[in-house]
């Protein structure tokens, strides 16, 4: 520390003057503490409100898409049931099994889930609806109405009704088209 | 209730005992502006109140010092307080009508006001508070080398400004 630095330190110390802590300072300090405390409370309240709102929005986002996801797959399912009936000629043969399905089209959407369900259930719990249809349905009696139809080895479950009654087996393949078309 | 009261008593005792010294420190840190120094000290004391239970037994003054230094640097950065660096010191008091001590203090504060906040803080902490370079670096929140650089540059600039007040020896 050289002379200048020593002098600088001395000047800084000598420049100090006594400044008492007066009542005005004390009152100001108390007011400052109160204001700061109020600000903290407000901040905390705002923070918790924001947190709750955020959680609510987050839950909403989590739940909503899930519901839509469940609904969407169910909507297309009815169409296959209605598809084979729409060609028209199928009811004419008068077989008992087609009639059961013939009623389906008008209210197809509501009852539809049961129709495809039965066709697949013919597999008796197996996962593949495609492979199980022709053979298993004959033995399985649960959903006999639809599955009794011995359709050509079609992939879709709706295939059964048309083929035996009329050679218009071609329409039976049509269901795949409406399925992809989307709702009318 | 009793705890709150004892807390308030301890806090008030500390503030009353150290107010004058801390006010001078605050004034040096802001380059002599009395009102700004009061504002900074009040702000630091309010912050001290909320952490008082934790640090009352440790080093409350060190805490206030750190808060003051950082608040001074922040306030200098954030707002314009009417400071304007000039080559010549403005409005020097006449030596005949005021005491020499006041003249000297005014010159010192005017010189400090010309330093950047970090350099000013480093000089004040090093030469008024007698802190080591490591402690200065801790208060400023920077590496020791940076603190040393701030202090040496600040002193070099003060040396130029105050050359006519503090004459070199030899």
List CB contacts (< 8 A) between B42 and chain A. Answer: 25, 28-29, 32
Highest mean pLDDT, choosing among A163-177, B37-51, B77-91: B37-51
Q: Where are the domains of chain A?
A: 129-164
Test the A interface: residue of B30, B98, B164, B166 with most A CBs within 10 Å: B166
Chain A residue with minimal CA distance to B155? Answer: A5
Question: Does residue B66 or residue B166 have the better pLDDT?
Answer: B66
List CB contacts (< 8 A) between B24 and chain A. Answer: 15-17, 19
Domain boundary among the residues B66, B83, B100 is at B83
Same domain, B114 and B168: yes
Quote the pLDDT of residue A75. Answer: 63
Quote the pLDDT of residue A167. Answer: 46
Quote the pLDDT of residue A129. Answer: 43
Query: Is it the case that residue B35 has pLDDT exceeding 50?
Result: yes
Measure in Å the smallest separation between the Cα of A67 and chain B Cα atoms. 49
Local confidence pLDDT in tens for the 184 residues of chain A: 888 999 999 999 988 888 889 888 989 999 999 999 999 999 999 999 999 999 999 988 888 766 555 555 566 666 665 555 555 455 545 455 444 444 444 444 444 444 444 444 444 444 444 444 444 444 444 444 444 455 555 544 444 555 544 444 444 444 443 333 333 3
CB pair distance less than 8 Å for B42 and A13: no
List CB contacts (< 8 A) between B20 and chain A. Answer: 16, 18-21
Cα separation, B131 vs A89, whole angstroms: 102
Measure in Å the smallest separation between the Cα of A55 and chain B Cα atoms. 30
Cα separation, A175 vs A159, whole angstroms: 8
Which phi and psi angles does A161 have, rounded to 5°? -55, -55
Cα separation, B44 vs B75, whole angstroms: 13
Same domain, B112 and B162: yes
Same domain, B126 and B165: yes
Quote the pLDDT of residue B1. Answer: 61
Quote the pLDDT of residue B103. Answer: 84
Same domain, B58 and B1: yes
DSSP state of B87: S
Same domain, B29 and B3: yes
Same domain, B33 and B74: yes
Same domain, B161 and B140: yes
Angle, vertex CA B27, rays to CA B24 and CA B29, nearest 5: 110
Same domain, B155 and B96: yes
CB pair distance less than 8 Å for A3 and B123: no
Cα separation, B11 vs B26, whole angstroms: 19
- Mean pLDDT for the stretch of residues B132-155: 94
Total tally of structural domains belonging to chain B: 2
Quote the pLDDT of residue B4. Answer: 76
Quote the pLDDT of residue A22. Answer: 87
Domain boundary among the residues B44, B61, B83 is at B83
Query: Is it the case that residue B110 has pLDDT exceeding 70?
Result: yes
Q: Tell me the CATH number at B139.
A: 1.10.10.10
Same domain, B9 and B73: yes
- Mean pLDDT for the stretch of residues B103-125: 92
ipTM associated with this complex? 0.81
Same domain, B77 and B116: no
- Of the candidate ranges B30-39, B84-93, B122-131, B135-144, the one whose mean pLDDT is the lowest: B84-93
Quote the pLDDT of residue B91. Answer: 59
Same domain, B136 and B79: no
CB pair distance less than 8 Å for A29 and B109: no
Measure in Å the smallest separation between the Cα of B43 and chain A Cα atoms. 8
Same domain, B111 and B139: yes
B2 three-class SS: helix
Quote the pLDDT of residue B100. Answer: 77
C-alpha radius of gyration, chain A, whole number: 39
Residue B63: domain span: 1-83
Q: What percent of chain B has pLDDT over 90?
A: 61
Highest mean pLDDT, choosing among A64-78, B40-54, B72-86: B40-54
Residues of B with CB under 8 A from a CB of A: 12, 15-16, 19-21, 23-24, 28, 38, 42-43, 45-46, 49-50, 101, 104-105, 108-109, 123-124, 127-128, 130, 155, 158-159, 162, 166, 168-169
CB pair distance less than 8 Å for B128 and A18: no
Distances (CA, A) of A33 to A22, A171, B24: 17, 84, 22
């Amino acid at each position: 520390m050289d002379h200048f630095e020593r002098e600088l330190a001395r000047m800084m110390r000598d420049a100090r003057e006594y400044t008492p802590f007066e009542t005005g300072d004390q009152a100001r300090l108390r007011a400052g503490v109160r204001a700061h405390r109020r600000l903290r409370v407000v901040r905390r309240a705002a923070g918790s409100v924001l947190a709750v709102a955020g959680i609510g929005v987050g839950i909403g986002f989590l739940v909503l898409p899930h519901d839509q996801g469940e609904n969407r797959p169910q909507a297309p399912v009815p169409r296959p049931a209605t598809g084979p009936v729409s060609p028209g000629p199928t009811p004419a043969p008068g077989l008992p099994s087609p009639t059961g399905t013939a009623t389906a089209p008008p209210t197809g959407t509501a009852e539809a889930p049961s129709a495809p369900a039965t066709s697949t259930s013919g597999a008796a719990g197996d996962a593949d609806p495609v492979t199980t249809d022709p053979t298993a349905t004959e033995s399985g009696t649960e959903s006999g109405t639809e599955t009794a139809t011995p359709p050509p080895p079609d992939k879709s479950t709706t295939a059964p009704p048309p083929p035996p009654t009329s050679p218009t087996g071609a329409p039976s393949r049509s269901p795949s088209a409406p399925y992809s078309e989307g709702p009318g | 209730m009793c705890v709150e009261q004892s807390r308030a008593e301890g806090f008030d005792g500390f503030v009353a005992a150290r107010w004058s010294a801390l006010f001078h420190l605050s004034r040096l840190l802001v380059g002599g502006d009395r009102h700004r120094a009061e504002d900074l000290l009040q702000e630091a004391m309010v912050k001290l109140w909320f952490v008082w239970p934790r640090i009352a037994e440790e080093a409350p003054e060190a805490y206030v010092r750190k808060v003051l230094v950082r608040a001074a640097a922040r306030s200098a950065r954030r707002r314009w307080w009417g400071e304007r660096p000039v080559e010549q010191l403005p409005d020097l008091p006449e030596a005949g009508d005021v005491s020499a001590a006041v003249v000297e203090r005014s010159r010192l504060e005017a010189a400090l006001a010309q330093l950047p906040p970090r350099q000013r803080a480093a000089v004040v902490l090093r030469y008024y508070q007698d802190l080591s370079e490591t402690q200065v670096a801790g208060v400023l929140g920077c590496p020791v080398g940076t603190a040393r650089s701030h202090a040496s540059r600040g002193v070099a600039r003060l040396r130029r400004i105050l050359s006519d007040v503090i004459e070199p020896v030899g």
